[in-house]
Amino acid sequence: MRYKVIVFDLDGTLLDTLEDLAAAVNHALALKGFPPHTLAEYRQMVGHGVRNLVMQALPEEQREDTVIDTCLADFKAYYTAHIDVRTRPYPGMQELLRTLHARGVRLAVASNKFQSGTEYLIRRFFGDIPFIAILGNREGYPLKPDPEIVGESLRQAGVPPTEAVLVGDSATDMKTASNGNIPAIAVTWGYRDLPAEVAPTRVSSATELAAALFQ
């Protein structure tokens, strides 16, 4: 096996969470009388943490800390209660992770989603798969593309960057890997269209991802 540790992004890589995220933000906006956004619009907003998501969804003239904080609280309350209404694993990802674990590969998650949401969704959809680390957005820790979240996973595994790979769907994920000096594989089924110069190694299915990982 080429890699000893595989670090996965969550939203847009392991799980399609977009509809539930959009519904929760639109709910928070509606409580304030602000206009909603479409799924296509949210596709361009996600990936930088929920505070940034809420901020971008607000009308530009309303992007003050007090408004953001109130809407963020409303978002979290709704999202926590409806986090898995439409969220689903991408085709083949549950089976692939089981295969990787069976072959002795250690698995980790590095997400910009808030920690409790990250942990819940991994338990909900991948509860039979042991991860060495499930890391989300935590107070006092930087968001991706800072590589600290990946470095923490590798330290827990005792594995150098040369023996690990990051799998993600966004330019943020690719930059995280670059900042952490580890290779990266981009999946094309997520929320971003990545040019070749940003993501030289791209796969379009779980089968192609398995081939790239096992080669």
For the segment 69-80, the average pLDDT, to the nearest whole number, is 97
**pLDDT, tens digit, 9 for 90 and up, residues 79-134:** 999 999 999 999 999 999 999 999 999 999 999 999 999 999 999 999 999 999 99
pLDDT at position 47: 82
Active-site choice (9, 11, 16, 173): 9
Q: Is residue 9 annotated as part of the catalytic site, yes or no?
A: yes
Name the nearest CA neighbour of 76 among 114, 128, 48, 36: 114
pLDDT at position 196: 81
For the segment 12-20, the average pLDDT, to the nearest whole number, is 98
- Per DSSP, what are the bridge partners of residue 186? 168, 202
Beta-strand pair 164-168/5-8: parallel
pLDDT at position 124: 98
Asked whether the predicted pLDDT for residue 19 surpasses 90, the reply is yes
Please indicate whether the domains covering 5-16+88-214 and 18-81 agree at the CATH topology level. no
**pLDDT, tens digit, 9 for 90 and up, residues 185-214:** 999 999 988 878 888 899 999 999 999 999
- Token look-up 């192609």 returns 208
For the chain, give every domain's residue range: 5-16+88-214, 18-81
pLDDT at position 49: 86
CATH fold label, 5-16+88-214: Rossmann fold (3.40.50)
For the segment 14-41, the average pLDDT, to the nearest whole number, is 97
Structural domain 18-81, CATH architecture: Orthogonal Bundle (1.10)
pLDDT at position 195: 79
pLDDT at position 199: 83
Q: Please, which residues have CB within 8 angstroms of residue 195's CB and are 6 or more apart in sequence?
A: none
